[in-house]
């Protein structure tokens, strides 16, 4: 008789952690992390509010010609807030850039309590026509800014005028026109761009010149033709120029002191 030994089913051991235990561990990690973060935050806040991190020195850099350190501090300091850790550098930069004559400011922190501010001032190149009670000028970048015109030592700045947003265009045209008129011993004292795109200049000899519309190259071509040929007209009639109108296809009209003349630019070309 064959006897068989009963087979007991084997149960594989499991290493899986019960769900409730895993949940408890996760909660513990979260609580520990939050507690550590809160502790660190309190530590940072405590350190940040220490007197040694308050800005004790604000150093100004840059070529200040129309502002003194005292003036800059007096205008900017009331708008500064925070210490080495908490100061908003964007707002701090804006506080310095609202100081009269300041065009641009670069702000940086130096450990542990120093603020360094590099300032760039506006360099005025012209007056800008605006409201009667508004002192506006154009800087070397072609930007319009407001400041006290009385602070400018140079009383021979030219006058610019034009629609809003055209100051850079007017400055560029001035820089191209001035050497041309200088060749006939004249200085541009005013340059204006009308709303219709027409250019007009005033010269230091009292004459006005209508340059007309068109691209810069077209205006420059007409002007070059004028300054090259008008001396012959002035010499011929022995009279100073009062005004000129270059808005003609083949020539220009001039008004001399005491008479008017229509000049054909082609016939007025100097002999070679």
DSSP assignment of 45-94: HHHHTSGGGS--EEEEES--SS--HHHHHHHHGGG----TTT--HHHHHH
pLDDT of residue 270: 39
CA-nearest of 53, 117, 59, 57 to 85 is 53
Between vectors from CA 112 to CA 108 and to CA 118, what angle results, nearest 5°? 20
pLDDT at 41: 66
In the chain, domain spans: 51-121, 157-264
Q: What percent of the chain has pLDDT over 70?
A: 83
> What is the arithmetic mean of pLDDT over 61-90?
91
Report how far residue 143's alpha carbon sits from residue 112's, in angstroms, rounded to the nearest whole number.
37
Domain 51-121: give its CATH code: 3.10.20.310
Residue 184: both structure tokens together: 């006939």
Per-residue confidence (pLDDT) for residue 43, from 0 to 100: 58
* Helix 69-76 vs helix 89-97: crossing angle, to nearest 10: 120
Mean pLDDT (the chain, rounded): 86
- Distance CA(93)–CA(104), nearest Å, equals 8
Determine the average pLDDT of the residues in 241-266: 82
Task: Phi first, then psi: give them for residue 262, nearest 5 degrees.
Answer: -105, 120
pLDDT in tens, 131-152: 665 689 999 999 999 999 988 9
The pLDDT tens digits of the residues spanning 92-127 come to 999 999 999 999 999 999 998 899 999 999 999 999
For 204-222, the pLDDT digits (tens) are: 999 999 999 999 999 999 9
Count Cβ atoms below 10 Å from residue 230 Cβ, excluding itself. Answer: 21
Determine the pLDDT at residue 47. 57
pLDDT reported for residue 35: 73
49-77: average pLDDT: 85
The pLDDT assigned to 250 comes to: 81
> Kind of pairing, strands 241-245 and 208-212?
parallel
Which residue would you say has higher pLDDT here, 7 or 53? 53
Residue 112, pLDDT score: 87
User: CATH assignment of 157-264, given 1.20.1260.10, 3.40.50.300, 3.50.50.60, 3.40.50.11690?
Assistant: 3.40.50.11690
Q: How many CA atoms lie within 13 A of 91 on its CB side?
A: 9
Instruction: Give the separation between CA 175 and CA 142, rounded to whole angstroms.
Output: 11
b/e 28-60 (16+ beta carbons within 10 angstroms → b):
eeeeeeeeeeeeeeeeeeeeeeeeebebeebeb
Q: What is the pLDDT of residue 30?
A: 81
> Which residue in this structure is represented by tokens 């006290």?
148
Confidence band of 48 (pLDDT split at 50, 70, 90) = low
- Rounded Cα gap, residues 96 and 103, in angstroms: 9
């Amino acid at each position: 008789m064959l006897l068989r030994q009963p087979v007991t089913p084997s149960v594989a051991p499991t290493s899986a952690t019960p769900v409730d235990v895993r949940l408890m561990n996760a909660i513990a990690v979260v609580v520990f992390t939050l507690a550590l973060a809160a502790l660190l935050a309190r530590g940072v806040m405590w350190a940040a509010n220490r007197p040694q991190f308050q800005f004790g020195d604000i150093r100004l850099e840059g070529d200040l010609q129309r502002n003194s350190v005292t003036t800059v501090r007096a205008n900017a300091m009331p708008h500064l807030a925070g210490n080495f850790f908490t100061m908003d550098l964007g707002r701090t930069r804006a506080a310095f850039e609202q100081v009269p004559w300041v065009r641009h400011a670069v702000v940086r922190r130096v450990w542990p309590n120093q603020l360094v501010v590099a300032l760039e001032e506006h360099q005025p190149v012209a007056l800008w026509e605006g409201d009667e009670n508004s002192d506006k000028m154009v800087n070397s970048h072609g930007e319009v800014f407001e400041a006290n015109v009385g602070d400018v030592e140079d009383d021979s700045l030219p006058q610019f005028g034009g629609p809003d947003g055209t100051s850079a265009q007017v400055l560029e045209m001035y820089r191209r026109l001035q050497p041309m008129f200088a060749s006939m011993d004249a200085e541009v004292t005013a340059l204006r761009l009308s709303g219709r795109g027409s250019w007009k200049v005033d010269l230091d000899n009292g004459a006005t010149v209508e340059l007309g519309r068109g691209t810069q190259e077209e205006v420059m071509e007409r002007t070059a033709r004028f300054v090259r040929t008008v001396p012959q007209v002035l010499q011929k009639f022995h009279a100073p120029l009062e005004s000129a109108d270059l808005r003609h296809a083949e020539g220009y009209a001039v008004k001399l002191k005491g008479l008017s003349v229509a000049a054909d630019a082609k016939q007025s070309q100097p002999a070679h």
